[in-house]
Structure 1
Amino acid sequence: MTATGVKARVPVGDAPPEAADGTAEGPPPERGRRRLSRTDRRDLALGLKYISPWIVGILVFVVYPVGYSIYLSFTRYSGMGAPTWVGLGNYVTAFADPLVAKSTGNTLFYAMIAVPLGLVVALVLALAMNQNVREVAWYRTIFYAPSLIPAFAMSFIFIVFLNPQFGVFNQVLNIFGDGANVNLLGDPTGVKIAIIMMAQLGAGNAALIFLAGLRNVPKTVYEAARVDGAGPMRQFRSITLPLLSPVLLFNLITGVSGALQVFTEAYIVTNGTGDPDAGALFYMMYLYKNAFGFAELGYASALAVLLFLVGLALALLIFWCSRRFVNYDVEAS
């Protein structure tokens, strides 16, 4: 008892401390053990109900086909009867197949030229579409319109354009040359160059993404650079490119993915044959021939798995290297 006859409050054991208002504070809530309330469970069930078509679609059209393809890659299967288990036989055959090496080389040749060139063309188009002129809306429409043409239609246009007898390409060359016709589609290197030229007509999609990135660059940064005496090239090198690096990374990843799967143009240009001597035998073309031309679905599945692994490795390599050139912040220097 104290002098006033009231017991003093002395903490005993693990008694909770008092709060500022004199009430006892409870122990801190334990993390990770919160139980869902009835409202939370109802909201979760409702959310799963709304996205159930998407979940079913992913399971049926993505997860199951991928899993089944991986299984088929270890079998010999022609599409009829039951698959026969062969283990790693398809993969051993793929590494020893000279046409796999040739198609891989053609695909890498295409990717190493088409992807960087496509990024440059798309960036130039985006810079042109970002100009502050009255007719800019017309320019954007004109620059983007070729990317709306389907790949098969563009391929037929190029076949006529590059025809060695009456094509516009040879007619222009004859004006400045000796009259000899050039058959690009019959040359192993020329056909790849022609397909690379076709790919640049679809640069409008990447250009729109670049344009969105350009519109998000703060104008105050350019104004500060002009005050410091930076010219257009210095602004482009020190401001535009660093701040566009996330968009550049996105377009690079999608460009590499598309280059590894080039198929439609090669199929139409070679009339579906994929002649190795013509240089248009790309990896996806050879995969298609094995699956639907030779009825080697197991071997084609193994080729598809290898393509997935190569694409995944390239994506991880690009992401790892991107730490050195991708800038997500506006830093004043």
Structure 2
Amino acid sequence: MSLKELNALAANRSARRRSGGKADTRDNRAALGFLSPWMLGIVGITLGPLLYSLYLSFTNYNLLQSPSWVGLDNYERMFGDERLHQALKVTFTYVIVSVPLQLAVALGLALALDRGMRGLAFYRSAFYLPSLLGGSVAIAVLWRLVFGASGLFNVILGLIGIESSQSWISNPDTALWTIILLHVWTFGSPMVIFLAGLRQIPRAYYEAAATDGANVWWRFRHITMPLLTPIVFFNVVLAIINSFSNFTQAYVVSGGTGGPADSTLFYTLYLYQEGFGNFRMGYAAAMAWLLVLIIGAVTAINFWLSKRWVHYDD
């Protein structure tokens, strides 16, 4: 090939690179244009308020005057706040009890629905409905009526020979358990996820195990649960995060007080009382960041422990 031809070939390649570069630039600008609403939203609605709340956690702010810097005073105050300690106790009790119960009920119903019964779509929708309604104010109000002194729960106890006239939501020993029961009742969302995971397990595994004489419990223990552990882990993480952030149910059932005797004083409810009831927004912001750290730490522990029991079918 002559020198002239080589120069022409190089010029053509250079022209193609320049045109390709312009096209890439146009594509990048178009992509940034489409992404700009999301980026503005993440900065203005999420990141901005997040950083401002971190700043407020180091201030004394009552919503009516400008915040004044107090350093670590809000965080130091937490060590001597007895109501904060009670809120942490109530919240951790709620999480430790309600999450396993809810997931156990969800898994049990998912296993029942996975047997191929008639009307599966109807049952799946009916069981999922509580998850849509459980966090609403209307259901929480209904729960107050059900567990009131003359509520449906006492009526059912009377039908089986147990006479009771107490208000279960007004008793410090039972009030928290009514909210736990409400949370367990909203099992629909994890149930649907469990059902989807069960449908992904190859039926050939069960057929081979049945051929070898394995009973139902053996198949559940050695086939279903190991292959379902990623779904269990996913539901556990989501359920714990949702439980720590529970507010509506506790607020409505307790009338916004956390009573009786602070037995339903959830962490988020106490945070709300401090910020919007007592106008101590700086302290409420510090509480919010403590909750972020708690949820982050619990989630990190779950991920660390998952290496020991979660099995991925690679």
TM-score (norm 1): 0.85
d(CA) in 1 for partners of 2:276 and 2:305? 38
| 1:81 aligns with one of 65, 88, 105 | 65
**Percent of residue pairs bearing the same amino acid type:** 40
1:185 to 150, 162, 169: 169
Equivalent residue for 2:96? 112
Asked if the contact 1:78/1:298 (under 8 Å) is kept, the reply is: yes
The alpha carbon displacement at 1:227 in A equals 2.1
SS of corresponding position for 1:180 = coil
Name the structure 2 match of 1:209. 193
Note if 1:271 corresponds to 2:268: no
Superposition RMSD in Å? 1.5
Segments of structure 1 that go 5 or more residues without pairing to the other structure are 1-35
Q: Are 1:153 and 2:162 counterparts?
A: no
Task: Go from structure 1 to structure 2 and tell me whether the alpha carbon gap of 1:236 and 1:98 turns closer, same or farther (over 3 Å shift).
Answer: same
In structure 2, do the counterparts of structure 1 residues 327 and 225 end up closer, same or farther at CA, with 3 Å as the change threshold?
A: same
Deviation at 1:45, TM superposition (A): 2.1
4+ residue runs over 6 A deviation: none
Segment of structure 1 superposing worse, 299-308 or 246-255: 246-255
Distance in 2 (alpha carbons) for counterparts of 1:178 and 1:65: 53
| Greater Rg by CA | 1
Contact 2:175 2:260 in 1 (8 A): no
Pick aligned residue for 1:70 from 47, 54, 59? 54
Q: CA deviation at 1:327?
A: 0.8
Aligned to 2:7: none
1:278 CA drift (Å): 4.5
CA distance in 1, matches of 2:262, 2:80: 22
Q: How does 1:1-333 map to 2 (within 5 A)?
A: 37-149=21-133, 150-164=135-149, 166-177=150-161, 179-275=163-259, 277-329=261-313
How far did 1:229 drift?
1.9
Residues 39-48 or 136-145, more deviating: 39-48
1:232-287 alpha-carbon deviations (Å, 9 max, x no partner):
11111111111111111111111111111111111111112223605011100000
Shift of 1:178: 5.5
- Whether the 8 Å CA contact 1:184–1:191 is kept in 2: the answer is yes
**Equivalent residue pairs, number:** 294
What residue in structure 1 maps to residue 12 of structure 2? Answer: none
CA change 1:37–1:222 in 2 (3 A) is: farther
CA offsets 1:83-106 (integer angstroms, 9 cap, x no match):
110000000001210001000000
Q: Give SS of 1:189's match.
A: coil
* Distance in 2, Cα, partners of 1:239 & 1:128: 16
Q: 1: CA distance between counterparts of 2:72 and 2:219?
A: 54
Structure with greater helix share of residues: 2
**Equivalent-residue separation in structure 1 for 2:119 and 2:161 (angstroms):** 38
Q: Structure 1 stretch 309-318 or stretch 230-239: which is displaced more? A: 230-239
What is the alpha-carbon distance in structure 1 between the residues aligned to residue 66 and residue 125 of structure 2? 53
- Give the TM-score taking structure 2 as reference length: 0.90
Query: Amino acid of the residue matched to residue 191 of structure 1?
Result: A
Counterpart Cα distance in 2 of 1:131 and 1:107: 36
